[in-house]
Amino acid sequence: MLNVQQSEAFPRKQPRNHTGRNINRNTRLDNIEHRAEKMGLKLTPERMEAVEFVLDFYAHCEDCRNARQLMKVMDQEFADKGGKKYLYQLFPAGPLSQIHELADLPDLGNQTDRGFGTSY
């Protein structure tokens, strides 16, 4: 599992070999604009920065299915801009939910907590 106590949000040095996981970054980037139009979401450089961060995370993580862990890492990465608050301003329906829908990534575990009305 990713250790968020590291000095970097996650080590981007060596991509991990995820056998059986088909995550083609270039193909996803080509389709993101089309999906954003369908969602009525304008792709600003700030939004694309968050999307690219998640794609990098998927390329380098060990446990990509943990929504809470990914949100913690993103909160750290974007702390200088406002962290979670900033991400929710970019993606009002939930940063992880909207980014995963845009990039056609698999759903995360506990991505939505209906008990609290929370959507990551």
Span 100-107, average pLDDT:
84
Strand, helix or coil for residue 112:
strand
By C-alpha distance, which of 103, 108, 106 is closest to 26?
103
**pLDDT (tens digit, 9 = 90+) per residue, 12-40?**
444 444 444 455 666 667 789 889 999 89
User: Whole-model pTM?
Assistant: 0.71
pLDDT at residue number 78: 95
Report the DSSP beta bridge partners of residue 112.
119
Q: In percent, how much of the chain has pLDDT > 90?
A: 30
**pLDDT (tens digit, 9 = 90+) per residue, 41-71?**
999 999 999 999 988 888 777 667 777 888 8
Q: Domain extents for the chain?
A: 25-115
